[in-house]
Amino acid sequence: MLEKIETFIVLADCSSFTETAKRLYCSQPTISNHIQQLEEMFKTTLFHRSGKTVQLTKQGEILLNYAKLMTELVDEASIKIKNVSQQELILSVYVSNYIAGYFFTDILKHFHVAFPKQLLEVYTHCYEDLVRCLREGRTNIAFMPIYAKDEYIHSQYDISVLFEDDFLLILPAGHPWALRKVIYCRDLQNQTILLPQSPYLQQYIAEQMEKHQVKVRFLQMSNFEMIKRAVKSQLGLAFLPYTTVAGDEKNGELEVRTVASLNLKRTNGFVVRKQAKLTPAEIAFCKDVERYFHATRSAL
């Protein structure tokens, strides 16, 4: 049908069966056959024939308007289908700044070895921006911290746990407490504790201090990296995942200690929108990330 419509549009444009056949690289009888079939379908004459030229009838003019609209719609559909097909070839991954910064270099290398032809786009965000991306439907999956008090995530998404972090006390190099065998919660009284922007993490640490009846001063920093710089500058102490400070401890720039009876933990994993149909690439990536963390935990 579309081929016949194309023949009709070209013939209406050049008013010649011979010229139409040249433009469409086919025989003149084929052109005549296409027009005849359209006229039979619509039960009307579409062209007035006068010698070697033709002219649209009123019915033909009506059909021409719709024929052009049909081809425009087909072209639009083709573009959209192509865009969707191209997008399906690209795997978009949404991940927290923390997981991306400290784990994704190894994860992406691991995935590329397993799936060398898979194209990847990686978007890193703070927790609140990741939740906004999920709410806006930009993604059905996100790799992120899991907070028990985030009701939206727990009600709308299936959660897969990947690993758990211990938040340890971070001290500047040479701090007197680094020489002590045991640090107690009461030692934190009136100390300045540096916190990241995450309201859930802020609330969690504040609740733990209150639980142990310890009054501290809280100062907010933008992220874990800024907190480390501030601790090195002796602006305060902090509780951070050991992964973020392992290199700094090794280099002697920071001290890392546990606090007796204080057990700060955070779960990390990925969330998948309930009832969402994942693409094969999304499924493969999630499974590969799970295998990576399983192997990492086993090694530890």
- Give, for all 300 residues of the chain, the pLDDT tens digit: 889 999 999 999 999 999 999 998 899 999 999 999 999 999 999 999 888 889 999 999 999 999 999 988 888 887 777 655 554 578 999 999 999 999 999 999 989 998 898 989 999 999 999 999 999 999 999 999 999 999 999 999 999 999 999 999 999 999 999 999 999 999 999 999 999 989 999 999 999 999 999 999 999 999 999 999 999 999 999 999 999 999 999 999 999 999 999 999 999 999 999 999 999 899 999 999 999 999 877 655
CATH 1.10.10.10, the chain: domain bounds:
2-87
Angle 61-63-64 from CA coordinates, rounded to 5°: 65
Alpha carbon distance 24, 6 (integer Å) = 9
**Residue whose token pair is 């890392």:** 256
pLDDT at 83: 57
**Do residues 71 and 10 lie in contact, with contact meaning Cβ atoms separated by under 8 Å?**
no
Query: In what helix (H) or strand (E) does residue 44 lie, and over which residues does it extend?
Result: none
Query: Considering the entire predicted model, what is its pTM?
Result: 0.70
125, 102, 96: which is closest to 248 by C-alpha?
102
- Architecture of the domain whose range is 88-163+266-299: 3-Layer(aba) Sandwich (3.40)
CATH hierarchy code of domain 2-87: 1.10.10.10
pLDDT at 40: 93
Angle 166-167-172 from CA coordinates, rounded to 5°: 135
CATH 3.40.190.10, the chain: domain bounds:
88-163+266-299, 165-265
pLDDT at 298: 62
- Architecture of the domain whose range is 165-265: 3-Layer(aba) Sandwich (3.40)
Alpha carbon distance 197, 295 (integer Å) = 31
pLDDT at 270: 98
Alpha carbon distance 130, 93 (integer Å) = 11
How many C-alpha atoms does 263 have within 13 Å on its Cβ side?
2
Dihedral angle at the C-alpha atoms of 120, 121, 124, 127, nearest 10 degrees?
A: -90
Residue 260: Cβ within 10 Å count: 11
Question: Beta strand 237-241 with 157-172: parallel, antiparallel or unpaired?
Answer: antiparallel
**Residue whose token pair is 């009506």:** 62
List b or e across 136-165, with b for residues whose CB sees 16 or more CB atoms inside 10 angstroms: eeebbbbbbbbbeebeebeeebeeeebbeb
pLDDT at 88: 55
pLDDT at 239: 98
Residue 174, classified by CB atoms within 10 Å of its CB into exposed (0-12), middle (13-18) or buried (19+), is exposed
